[in-house]
Each structure stands twice: as C-alpha cells, then as structure tokens.
Chains A and B, each alone.
Chain A
Amino acid sequence: MKRRRFLHLAWVAGTLSVFAFIPMVFAISDAFKENIYNTGTLKPIDSVLKVKVGDRAPDFTLPSLSGEKISLSQYRGKRNVVLSFVPAAWTPVCSDQWPGYNIVKDLFDQNDAILLGITVDNLPTLYAWTHQMGKLWFPVLSDFWPHGAVAKKYGVLRSDGVSERALFVIDKKGILRYINVNDINKRPSLEDLVNALEKLQT
C-alpha cells in the first residue's frame, strides 16, 4: 500500500515537474528574424533595490547612441524622466519593449516626460540592435563601463551582469515617484507606467 502511494506521488511529482520546463512564450517581431538569442526562463528578479519611492534619484552620466553624454541632472526642473532598464540587446522581451515605447511618444509628451533607455551593452551592440527597431525618438544609453555601474547604483544589476527589466519614474525635482522591477521574463504593463506618469500631474 505504501509502495503504491509512493509510486502515485512520484508519478504526480514527475508530471508536475515537466511543467517547470515548459518555456515562457514570447512574441518576437519578424523584424529581428532569427537573430534573437533565447535566454530561456530566468529567475524573475535577481537583485536588491537600493532606492525607494520618495528618494532622490542617484545622478549619473552615460554615453548615448547619438554620441552625446547624458546626465540625469540635466532634466532637473525641466522634464519628468522615465528610466527604462532592459537586460540585454538581442534577447526576446527586450527586443519588443522599446519599439512599443517608440509609438507612444505622445503619452510621454502629454506628461512632460522624457524616456531614457539603458542597457549594460556597449554602444556598437546597441547601435546594431536598435537599428532593427526603426528610428527611436528617445536616447539610448550604454551602462557598459564601468560595467553596469548605474544599474548597480539603483540596485538593479543582476548577479550575471545584466540589469533587471526595471522602470523608474523621476519627477522634475529629481525624486523617484514610481519603481517597477518587473519579472525579467515579462514585459511591464504599459498601462501602469502611463498611470504613474499621469499621477505626476496631480
């Protein structure tokens, strides 16, 4: 009887374990053809935030694709800022996230916000990758060297050297008003981001 129960339990456990290996589903745009590296399903979050809502956002200066260096502080008193950290170029979810933001410039404009896209990739990689997305209206910054220093400052650098999929909304006073460290395997809700931007006006 005990043996039967054990076999039964083993069978159920075996069945359920299969589900753990069913990979996540990503919609991949044909724009990237076969060039997207499948990372598989990753640990949803692999870092500890070093900032919280209400804190002053740590300043930084990073090189951008346009050649110009961009500092967070240059927007102080002028624009709200959204930082979009994505883990890495040429990976499934990241490759779709920014093209979506690329068609909602009006939603950022309506809330007097600029978007800064950041990854830990170097500029040549970012150039080739974002070239597949069409012309982006927002600056793309490279947090490559010292590797992931800005991601680390915010507490979104993962143990394997890529960043989390994280969104930070910073108001004109330089204060963090919204933080979303998303499950790395999923695209963050656009609606939540827009709601956070709209709240800045109140």
Chain B
Amino acid sequence: MKRRLLSLALLAFFLLTVGSFIHAANKPPQKGGTLPAMSLPIPKSPAEKNYLGLSGEGSFKIPQIKAKVVIIEIFSMYCPHCQKDAPGVNELYSLIENDPDLKNKIKIIGIGTGNSAFEVGVFKKNYAVPFPLFPDPDFTIHKASGEVRTPYFIVVNINKDGSHLIVHSQLGEYPGAKPFLELVLKSSGLK
C-alpha cells in the first residue's frame, strides 16, 4: 500500500513537472492570459517598498502591487538589447511618475533572468534604474514564463478583487518611452 502511494506521488510529481515544463516551453505570458505563478521578495529598500505599496518582509505576488497596471520587463544584465533599452525604460518611469494622473496607477518592475542579486545590482547602478529590479538566479521565473528571449515586456491589469489579466506582451522592439506608454494606456483601458 505504501509503495502504491509512493508510486502515485512520484507519478503526480513527474506529470506536474514535465507538464509544467512543456507548458513553459510553449507558452510565454500573452495577452488574455494570466501570469505564471511567481513570488518575488519584498524589497528591503523603504523607497521601493513604498513605490510598490508593499509592507513587511517575505515575498509577494505581482497582483499585490498597489496599482491598476503593472509593467514587467524580463531582462538580463547580459542582454545587449536590454542594455540599449534601459535609458528608454527609465524615461517611461519618469513619464509615469511625473504625471499625477498616472503616478499611482502604473508601476514598473524588472526581473533579471539568470541574474544574481549582484548582477541585478550592477545593471541598476550602471543605468541608474529607478524602479525595483528582482533577481531570478536559477531561471525559475524564466522557465515559468516560457523561456522568453529578453527583453520581454508584459503589461498586466490588476483588478480590485486581486485577480489580474495580461493585456499586452512583446518581445523586444521597445519603441521608446512615449509610444510604449501610449500602448500601455490603450491596452490597459486607462485611456
């Protein structure tokens, strides 16, 4: 009996693992879908905590961010296009933060795929990135996100009931801060 239970447990583990792998390999986060399960550490910096509307310690899930829309950039310190786009994404942050109508509605975060905390720190310092960046050293989030190439942008609407919906996603092709903000406003329904 014990052996049968063990076998069933192993089978369930196997199916879940391989199943999620196949799922990940085929489906990057896309419009109309939801985010893969991911937890991020609550930032230690009070400014970043405040920006995201989080408190305490431990981890959080993206829909817990206090905003109507969250823009997620999956990037890598080692990716030339992420490096090239960094000033433009910083400008997007400034456009949002300098607009009283948008300031508390749209938040940006970056997830450094395959990057250690040190490497994410290097990227943040080099490009003076003003929004929170999170390391994904073991590719956990990257795997769950369909192993997308970088940079990959995801725009998510956060609903009042805590549910969420991806309203836009794109691989690279960052058009610059203003056109991208327009796209975010339209796709999220903020405009």
Binding site for B on A (CB under 8 A): 8, 11-12, 15, 18-19, 22, 25-31, 96-97, 99-100, 102-104, 107, 132-134, 187, 189-191, 194
Contacts and interface: CB of A to CB of B under 8 A. Distances in A.
Given A103-B123, A190-B119, A191-B116, A29 B79 contact: yes
Given A8-B7, A18-B18, A104-B122, A27 B116 contact: no
B81 A8 contact: no
B83 A134 contact: yes
Interface string B8-47: 0011001001100100000000000000000000000000
A50 B39 CA distance: 44
Contacts of B123: 103
9 nearest A-B pairs in the assembled complex, by CB-CB distance: A29-B79, A100-B78, A30-B172, A96-B78, A31-B80, A191-B118, A27-B114, A25-B139, A27-B113
Contact of B78 (A8, A11, A15, A187): A187
8 contacts: A11-B7, A26-B147, A28-B149, A29-B150, A30-B172, A103-B77, A187-B114, A190-B122
A190 B21 CA distance: 28
Of A29, A107, A133, A187, most B-chain CB atoms within 10 Å: A29
Nearest to B147: A25
Contacts, number: 89
For B14, B147, B149, which residue has the most chain A Cβ atoms within 10 angstroms? B149
Interface of B: 3, 7, 10-11, 14, 17-18, 21, 76-84, 113-114, 116, 118-119, 122-123, 126, 139, 142-143, 147, 149-151, 171-172
A29 B82 contact: yes
Contacts of B139: 25, 27
A2 to B, nearest CB: 14
A103 B122 contact: yes
B78 A99 contact: yes
- The binding surface of chain A is classed by DSSP as helix
Nearest to A18: B18
Given A8-B3, A8-B7, A22 B21 contact: yes
Given A25-B143, A30-B149, A191-B116, A100 B77 contact: yes
Contacts of B78: 27, 29, 96-97, 99-100, 187
Given A29-B80, A191-B119, 19 more contacts: A8-B3, A12-B10, A15-B10, A15-B11, A25-B114, A27-B147, A27-B149, A29-B81, A30-B150, A30-B171, A30-B172, A96-B76, A96-B114, A100-B119, A103-B83, A134-B83, A187-B78, A189-B116, A190-B122
Contacts of A15: 10-11, 14
Contacts of B142: 25, 27
